Structure 1
Amino acid sequence: MPPPLHLVVVGGNGFIGSAVCRRALAKGFRVTSISSSGRPYRTPKGHTPAWTAQVDWRTGDALDPASYAETLDGTSAVVHTLGTLLEDTEYKRALREGDALGLLRAAFGNVNGRNPLAPKGTTTYERMNRDAALRVCEAFRDSPPPPAESKAATRPFVFISAADVFRPWIDARYIETKRAAERGITEILAPHAERFRGAWSTTPTHAPSLPPAAAFLDLTSTLHVSLPASLRSSLRAVVADLPGRVNEHIPSPAASLATALSTPPMHVDHVAAAAVQACLDPTIQGVLEKEEQGAAMQSV
C-alpha cells in the first residue's frame, strides 16, 4: 500500500488553515502545518482539539524559504492560507474572542488610513497577501517531488484568495495584492495552480462579531437570486461599467459593494473541502469563484 499523500498547509493554525488541516486528515493525507509560531491550533475558547495531535506543527517564516525548504521536500501539495484583511492585526484577536467593538476599531482605523509618518510595520498587504504567497510558491516549485511510489500526477499549489467584496470599507490594496499573488502564482506554476475566491468565511464559533454581518449578506444574496435572470444580468452589466475602476484587474468600489450584496458568505468548512479536493483532482485548475468551488465539492 503506497504511503499517504503529504500536504503542507501554510498557516495551518489559523481560521481557514485549521479547517484545511482537519479536512485533509479526514481524506487520508499526512499533514504538516507551517506557521510563524509553530503552535497547534486552538479554538476561540483556548481548547486544543484531538485532531491536532495528528498534524506535524512546524515553525517557518513564509517570506524566508530557507526556514521551511526542508519541510517541502517530497510534498505532494501545498495549500497557502496566509493573508491579512487589515494591516492592523488586532482584528484577528477581535475575531477569535468575538470582540465586535475591537473589530470595529480595527476596521475604522483602516478606513481612516495610517499616519504616513508612523513607522512601517511588517504586517503589510504587500508582504502578507502577495510576497509571502509568491515566496512559498517558488520554494514549492524548486523542491524535490515525492518518491515515485507516492507521487501524484501533479503537485497542486492551492492559494486561498478572496472575492472583491470588502471595498470601500477595506483598503483597495487588500484585493490588489490578492490579485497580484494570483497572477504571480500563475506565472510560476501554471497550469498546476488553483486560486480560490470566496466571500466572507464564517463559522458559528465567531459570534457575535461576524454572524450578524454574514446573516445580512446571506439575506441580500438570497433576494438577489430571487430576481429574474435577465434583470440580474442587466444589473451586472450596469455595475461593471460604473466609473472609478482602480485598474484593469480591479473594478470600481461600487462593483465591489454590489458583489458583496449578491454573494452569500461561505462556511469555512466548505472552503476547506474545496481546497483539499483540488489537491486530489487534477482537473481542477485556475481561478475558482465561489460557484465553481461548489461544483468542485460535488465529488468530495
Structure 2
Amino acid sequence: MKSLLVFGGNGFLGRRICQVAVEHGYQVTSLSRSGRPPPLSASWEKEWISEVKWQQCDIFNAQSYGQHLKGASNVVHSIGILFEDSGYKKRIRGKSLFTAPDLLKWGANPLKNDPKFTYDMMNKQSALNLAKDFAKPENSNEEARRTFTYISADRGFPLIPKGYIQSKREAEMGLMRLEESIRPIIMRPGFMYDENFDSAEHRDVRSHVKSFVETLNCGNQLLLRGKIPFVNELIRPTVSTQQVGRAIIKNIEDPSFEGVCTLEQILKT
C-alpha cells in the first residue's frame, strides 16, 4: 500500500496534506510535537482523520522518529514558522483581523520563548536533519527513489523579516545536494488559505487576508495589466491548502518530477 509520513501533519497545511493523501489511497502517518489529530472543522472530517495514524515526535530528536523512517517511501516536511515568535500562531487562528501593531509585535526575541523557535532551526535545520536521516542507506526500501517533500515559499512578504525566505532558500539548496539518495520535491506556495473556511459562515483571519490580497491582485491585472515588475513581485496569487496537497501527491506519483514546484504550477493542479 502507498504510504506517506507527514511531519507537522496536524498543522494548518499538514492536515490537508494528510486528508488529500488519504483520499488518494495512501496509508498516512502524521508526526508532530503533540501527536494529536487537529480539531474538527466539520463533522465529516472524522472519516479521514480516523484513517491517519497520529504519532508524537520531537523533530530535533532523531530517536523519536527514526523507527518511522525505516522502509518509508515518501516523507513530507510541513514544519515551519513565519515569525520568530510562537505567539503569532495563536493570533492567526482567531476570527478577527489583526492590525499592523500586532504584526510588529510578532518579531519578538525567540529566546524568550524557545531557543529552537528561529528561522534557522525551524525552517532550515529541522528539514535538513530529517532529510539526512531519511537518506541513510539503512532506511532505504530498495524501491524507486524515495521522495522528500519540503514546504518552502514563493517569496517573502511585506512586514516579514527577510530571514524567513532566506532560511527557506538555504534549506532548498541543502536538500538538492541529497538528490542522489532521495528525490527532493520543493513546493513554493504563496499565501495559503483553507477552502473550508472561505465562506461567509466560517471565515477566519486567513480568509480575510486572502480576500484583500486577491483584490490587489485583480487590480494589478485589470488596471496595470501586470506590466510593472515591482508590483508583480509584491502582489501574488493566493492558493488553498487543498491545492497544495493535490500538487504534492501529483509530484510524488510522477517519478520524473524533482526540484522546485512553483506557485504557478501548484495553481494548475
SS at match of 1:15: coil
Structure 2 match to 1:53: 50
Deviation, structure 1 residue 285: 1.3
Deviation, structure 1 residue 260: 3.5
Gaps (5+ residues) in structure 2? Answer: none
Q: Is the 8 A contact 1:90 1:106 kept in 2?
A: no
Q: Is the 8 A contact 1:194 1:284 kept in 2?
A: yes
Structure 2 match to 1:5: 2
Deviation, structure 1 residue 293: 2.1
Q: Which has the higher helix share?
A: 1
Question: Equivalents in 2 of 1:109, 1:124: separation in Å?
Answer: 15
Structure 1 match to 2:211: 215
Structure 2 match to 1:138: 132
CA-atom RMSD in angstroms: 2.6
SS at match of 2:178: helix
Q: Which residue, out of 203, 212, 237, partners 1:264?
A: 237
Aligned residue pairs total 262
Deviation, structure 1 residue 82: 0.4
Deviation, structure 1 residue 196: 0.8
Output aligned runs, 1:89-108, within 5 Å: 89-101=86-98, 106-108=102-104
SS at match of 1:50: helix
**TM-score under structure 1 normalisation?**
0.78
SS at match of 1:83: coil
Query: Letter of the aligned partner of 2:123 in structure 1?
Result: N
SS at match of 1:49: helix
Deviation, structure 1 residue 118: 5.4
Deviation per residue, 1:98-148 (Å, 9 max, x gap): 2434x76652213xx4359957633111111001111111111115233x6
Q: Is the 8 A contact 1:44 1:97 kept in 2?
A: no
Structure 2 match to 1:172: 162
Output aligned runs, 1:140-155, within 5 Å: 140-142=134-136, 143-146=138-141, 151=143, 153-155=144-146
Change (3 A) 1:45 1:227: same
**TM-score under structure 2 normalisation?**
0.87
Q: Is the 8 A contact 1:44 1:96 kept in 2?
A: no
Structure 2 match to 1:71: 68
Task: Tell me whether 1:122 sits opposite 2:113 in the alignment.
Answer: no
Query: Letter of the aligned partner of 1:13 in structure 2?
Result: N
SS at match of 1:287: strand
Change (3 A) 1:47 1:292: closer
Question: Equivalents in 2 of 1:228, 1:104: separation in Å?
Answer: 27
